[in-house]
Chains A and B, each alone.
Chain A
Amino acid sequence: MSTPLLSLSGLTKAYPGVVANDNVSFEIQPGEVHALLGENGAGKSTLVKMIYGLVRPDSGQMMLHGKPFAPTRPSAARAAGVAMVFQHFSLFDALNVAENVALGMENPPPMGDLATRIRDVSATYGLPLDPSRTVGELSAGERQRVEIIRCLLQDPRLLIMDEPTSVLTPQEVDILFETLRKLTSEGVAILYISHKLEEIRTLCDHATILRLGKNVGTCIPRETSARDMAELMVGSAFAAPERARRNLGEVALELRDLNAASPSAFGTSLKGISLSVQQGEILGLGGVAGNGQDELLAALSGEIRSDAEAVRFMGEPIGRLGPGPRRKMGLLTAPEERLGHAAAPDMSLTENALLTGAEREHLMQRGFLRWGAAEAFARRIISAFDVRTPGPDVAARALSGGNLQKFVIGREVMQRPSVLVVNQPTWGVDAAAAAAIRQALLDLAAKGTAIICISQDLDELMEISDRFGALNEGRLSEIRPAQGLSVDEIGLMMGGAHGMEVAHV
């Protein structure tokens, strides 16, 4: 057997209170796609940060091309032929494509030459891109291209990709895979991080599975069932959410030609959105990140106002009302960003319970706060939703993602909403918490609440929604019954390949 491209042995990294990686070992061969599989919090990102030189291991060894490899900085890793496409946080919105690419290179050529090389590489790999465009104006898929091209310009031997398909439509995923296959045929190895099993079965040659920081197994994905991999990843099987048969009532919320400008510079404005949702119904809204999801939630919560007639709640026009009055009527929402939007990080859970519950739960009297009642409400949420925390005095940011998400969703569910709108209810949450949250939504719908679930997780939407629609560049697709929709149909509703060309391999 040839020398592996990269071999890791006994890598360990501990942070205060948590061992992120515990004695992890595996090997990557040249030209293979190696999957790194695990739940949120399993230690995948810490592991790749060590390979990329952002974090130093406490112990253990890495070998690249058979030689010891211990990068102290990302630039050292890049110089050794390791490149990385990040899931978040690595592009500069206000800079143009060429500048963004230059920042990821050690010795970039002059801007003029660089632009030419960007065009060359993008043509070779079927990733068309204009070097002079401002990155903030690009779609999610195009932004990812910027990152990939940035990597390719350095002739990497190992390309690390962190959840690359979470921002793509199914059609765009196919295009990406074509590009990746072309790369592996040239001998480049790819370390592919994901928790999407089907994807890994299509693309990857080997898989290493992490759970709670430990390497719990390796497998050949093509020969392993998704179910077996899931069990390795999660450690136990979960009951799929139960769908009770529901009776649909009258229309609870209706949008008619809703238009709203985005409050942020590089946001997406909503254009002519119309939909309605009935009591007891769950409407799932899919779409790639950044296509108006945040704006839609804000327009429903009252953070963005619109024409009065554009939003109707139980027949009443409420487009001009703010979050307070809407909440009072029974229209509750839970935004995607837990820390800083749905909850104040440094405030206690009691204070955060007050954030949306003050009015409906009678936590104040003529403006004066009833702290005792607020704490009791927080305790009720904690026990009803199994939030793991020492108590309601703990600051929100001290909770794990899953627990805080349960608290945030629970806070709204406990207030018996007539309409509940959630955005990415299980994003970055472990499987157990995700299952609990989905079940809670289904149970709530069974009691007659109308629910709009905005999510980028298509499996989730197919699991719980009655009807499905997709957001694309601030517009809403036709809404269709969820049952019987094929992946291709869903992809086309999400905007297909967004005009991207397929790699000409």
Chain B
Amino acid sequence: MDLSSINPILLLASLMVAATPILLAALGELVVERAGVLNLGVEGMMITGAICGFAIAVETGSPVVGFIGAALGGALLSLLFAGLTQFALANQVASGLALTLFGLGLSALLGQSYVGVKPPPTAKLDIPLLGDIPVLGPIVFAHDWMVYFGLALTLVVWALLKFTRAGLILRAVGENHDAAHALGYKVVRVRVLAILFGGACAGMGGAYLSLVRVPQWTEGMTAGAGWIALALVVFASWKAGRVLLGAYLFGGVTVLQLNLQAAGVDIPVEYLSMSPYLITILVLVILSADRSRAPGSLGRVFHASS
């Protein structure tokens, strides 16, 4: 065992990379849940995004187009969920599970010819001066643009929910859909839009896995990242800032665990690989005492009777 082989600077730098996929997916789910919808299909949308983004990036040679394609793919899949829950009034838990099972099958089918292919590299933003700052430079300023996109998106979601009228309406719909309906807001429309946004974010998160983090396509490669993203939203008490914090925490655990594996710690690899899941459970337990912040209408079926 050689712990000195772990470079703390690289560790912190890779933490931001490891956190990005779940950050993106969790931000999307945050918006969905604030609108009062519980979409458990994040895993399915992520893996669909992973293959859509991967395939499109490989075919076009452009990771940017790939990420856009991933967002569209995720949103398209989430449209199925929107149809089930908002129009056919199906149970949201069951529909979310269906979405995940469906997404896993769909992605496996789409990805058949892409196993073992190398994707085009995603550009790094080497910010000239900032990137050269010792220690801080490589940790904070030498990543690919999606990392910064994730950070920017956190800021946008936070500001949108807190300061804009659209955000207020979204929160109102999630808090009490009957009241929102009585005031004349289109509950279903708001929710469908939120679900689409959630799908797009999850899709991009998935594509980040297949295009940057791994980078290649394998079946079932999300390996529970979507579920961790769901846990993250609970962890964050439905607040964007805390989603970022949580994502970095989980990113840190993942990276540390991988580094320990590489350093040859005297614990079987399998037990180290369990750790992100176990820590997710642990964090959920610690935070589940406070459920008061959950949106009032979360998971409830809305049907305008009048």
Contact = CB atoms under 8 A, between A and B. Distances in A.
* Contact, chains A and B (beta carbon distance below 8 A): yes
Given A54-B306, A90-B179, A93-B175, A75 B184 contact: yes
Contacts of A91: 176, 179
A90 B177 CA distance: 9
B183 interface: yes
Contacts of A74: 182-184
A373 B52 CA distance: 60
Contacts of B306: 46, 49, 54-55
B176 A92 contact: yes
Nearest to B182: A90
Judged by DSSP, the binding face of B is: helix
A156 to B, nearest CB: 15
B183 A102 contact: no
B236 to A, nearest CB: 16
Contact of A265 (B171, B172, B183, B292): B292
Contacts of B168: 95, 99, 102-103
B: contact size bracket: 10 to 19
Nearest to A71: B184
Contacts of B171: 92, 95
Nearest to A150: B183
B294 to A, nearest CB: 9
Contacts of A92: 171-172, 175-176, 179-180, 296
Interface residues of A, number: 23
B169 interface: yes
A192 B156 CA distance: 44
Interface string B60-76: 00000000000000000
Contacts of B183: 74, 90, 103-104
A102 to B, nearest CB: 6
A94 B175 contact: yes
B178 interface: yes
Contacts of A328: none
A73 interface: yes
Contacts of A93: 175-176, 296
A496 B112 CA distance: 74
Nearest to A94: B175
Contacts of A368: none
Contacts of A75: 184
B242 to A, nearest CB: 17
Judged by DSSP, the binding face of A is: loop
B290 to A, nearest CB: 11
Contacts of A89: 176, 178-179, 182
A94 B176 CA distance: 9
Interface in B128-177: 165, 168-169, 171-172, 175-176
B292 to A, nearest CB: 5
A95 B184 contact: no
A78 B165 CA distance: 18
A104 B165 CA distance: 12
A141 interface: no
Interface in B251-296: 292, 295-296
A149 B8 CA distance: 58
A104 B168 CA distance: 11
Interface in B181-203: 182-185
Contact of B172 (A78, A86, A95): A95
Given A95-B172, A108-B165, A73 B296 contact: no
A53 interface: yes
Interface string A68-110: 0000011100100000001001111111000100111000100
Nearest to A102: B168
Given A89-B176, A103-B172, A108-B165, A94 B184 contact: no
B176 A54 contact: no
A86 B306 CA distance: 15
A134 to B, nearest CB: 11
B166 to A, nearest CB: 12
Nearest to A54: B306
B14 to A, nearest CB: 38
A267 B8 CA distance: 50
A78 B183 CA distance: 10
Given A94-B296, A265-B292, A86 B182 contact: yes
B136 to A, nearest CB: 37
A265 B185 CA distance: 26
**Most central of A75, A86, A94, A265 by chain B CB within 10 Å:** A94
A328 B95 CA distance: 41
A54 B172 CA distance: 18
Contact of A73 (B165, B176, B179, B184): B184
A54 B186 CA distance: 11
Contacts of A99: 168, 172
Contacts of A90: 179, 182-183
Contacts of B185: 103
A55 B178 CA distance: 15
A14 to B, nearest CB: 13
Contacts of B184: 53-54, 73-75, 78
Closest CB pairs A-B (n = 10): A74-B184, A89-B178, A92-B175, A90-B179, A90-B182, A73-B184, A75-B184, A89-B179, A92-B176, A265-B292
15 contacts: A49-B306, A53-B184, A54-B182, A54-B184, A54-B306, A75-B184, A92-B175, A92-B176, A93-B175, A93-B176, A95-B168, A95-B171, A95-B175, A102-B168, A103-B180
